Structure 1
Amino acid sequence: MPPAGPAPRRLRIVGTSGSGKTSLGRQVAGILGVPHLELDAVFWDAGWTRRDPDDARAIVRRFAEDNPDGWVADGNWTSLLDGLLDPGTPGGADAMVWVDHPRRVVMWRVITRTVRRGIHREELWHGNRERISTWLRWNPEENIIRWAWTSYARVQQRMRDRIDAGDRIIHLRGQREVDAWLASLAENRRTVER
């Protein structure tokens, strides 16, 4: 459950691919009235090429500096961020939000989302679209469904390690906890505005 204390205004949302990070990020940013940054849009460039890590970090750093009173960033990219948005760092998150759905839920979501995007040719960022041809590739780097499956345990372990290290983590286990947390943010905002 969310920790007690003042409502955080700078949040980094993490979780396995398909856990709903971006949808939740948009919702939270709307509730808090703060800007939202999707890290996938920062680290991926046109043609599914990775943006230069220094350039990407500069974009993230500028976003945090331009919004000191609050922001929401969603996405993992932990190794390339070099701790940039971590709680406890200057300008970093007040807390990390770990969206931790059961693997079966994550896989259902990532499969249905991937099929929908592939069939409808939905643009993600910078002209990039998920391609149906990737669905049968074995390499997780080329197949988001395999990526979600193979990265699930790594994300779980990394986040448990962060909790053990004392990082401020809002651990949301399943959709009921996600919904309850969103409701508490909205209620807190209404209380503050009264």
Structure 2
Amino acid sequence: MSRAPRHERVLVCGVTGIGKSTLCRAVSEHLDLPYTELDRLHWGPNWTPRPQFEQDVAEIASRDRWVSELQYLGSGVGMLLAQRGQLLLWLDYPRRIARTRLIRRTVKRSLSRREVWPGTGNIEPPLWHAFTDEDHLLRWEARTHRMWRDTYIPMLRSEHPHLRIVRFGHPRETARFVAALS
């Protein structure tokens, strides 16, 4: 009996707040792959993009083994990872689940006033910003929820046919996948 191929470069994608980082940490632990959180690399103090972000991502992509979120496709940075990735785990949950998760995380972070990434000084803005800031995560999710399904996944299938894409339509499917990694 032949073994399934071992994936050494794993990406996780989906709408904001869906659970990408959580799944990345689980894959990292079970497959002993180093994990780099892209948002942590991207955001410097006061929510300013770090100028060396693209260079850092290129360095990660060049490694033989890693797990990371697939993000920043619009800027092209995510494509550096997609070119080298072997497996893409796509969290494509129903909007009600995605929205509930994002609201829960946003409220928790906003009320706790804890730094999102220690040492950056970056904290979630007050909740009322969701009504005044066009780029607030809750508004961003509303605008981009279908973007993976309608735009990014078809593009990735076309431009990176080597990338094996596994779609999870519900958190139960993801949990079964993680349990099978053990």
Pick which of 129-138 and 100-109 moved more.
Answer: 129-138
Relative to the length of structure 1, the TM-score reads 0.82
Q: Structure 1 residue runs of 4+, over 3 Å off?
A: none
Task: Quote how far apart the aligned CAs of 1:160 are.
Answer: 3.7
Distance (Å, rounded) in 1 between the aligned partners of 2:8 and 2:181: 10
Secondary structure in 1 matching 2:81: coil
Which residue number corresponds to residue 179 of structure 1?
Answer: 175
1:184 aligned partner, one-letter code: A
Which residue number corresponds to residue 81 of structure 2?
Answer: 85
2:8 aligned partner, one-letter code: R
2:70 is the counterpart of 1:71: no
2:98 is the counterpart of 1:98: no
Which residue number corresponds to residue 128 of structure 1?
Answer: 122
Task: Quote how far apart the aligned CAs of 1:82 are.
Answer: 5.7
Which residue number corresponds to residue 61 of structure 1?
Answer: 58
Task: Quote how far apart the aligned CAs of 1:38 are.
Answer: 0.7
Distance (Å, rounded) in 2 between the aligned partners of 1:107 and 1:82: 23
Distance (Å, rounded) in 1 between the aligned partners of 2:10 and 2:176: 17
Aligned residues: 173
Instruction: List aligned pairs for 1:1-194, cutoff 5 A.
Output: 5-52=4-51, 55-65=52-62, 67-68=63-64, 70-80=65-75, 81=77, 83-86=79-82, 89=83, 92-125=84-117, 126-132=120-126, 133-139=128-134, 141=135, 143-162=136-155, 164-165=157-158, 166=161, 167-186=163-182
Task: Quote how far apart the aligned CAs of 1:183 are.
Answer: 1.6
Task: Quote how far apart the aligned CAs of 1:75 are.
Answer: 4.3
Task: Quote how far apart the aligned CAs of 1:79 are.
Answer: 2.1
Relative to the length of structure 2, the TM-score reads 0.87
Secondary structure in 2 matching 1:77: coil
Q: Identity over the aligned pairs, expressed in percent?
A: 28
1:36-86 residue CA offsets vs partner (Å, 9 max, x unmatched): 11111111111011222xx21211122233x41x21111411122162001
User: Structure 1: which 5+ residue stretches go unaligned?
Assistant: 187-194
1:104 aligned partner, one-letter code: R
Pick which of 107-116 and 118-127 moved more.
Answer: 118-127
Pick which of 108-117 and 162-171 moved more.
Answer: 162-171
Q: 1:77 to 1:163 in 2, by over 3 A?
A: closer
Q: 1:84 to 1:163 in 2, by over 3 A?
A: closer
Distance (Å, rounded) in 1 between the aligned partners of 2:25 and 2:157: 28
Secondary structure in 2 matching 1:129: coil
Q: Give the conservation status (yes or no) of the 8 Å contact 1:103–1:152.
A: yes
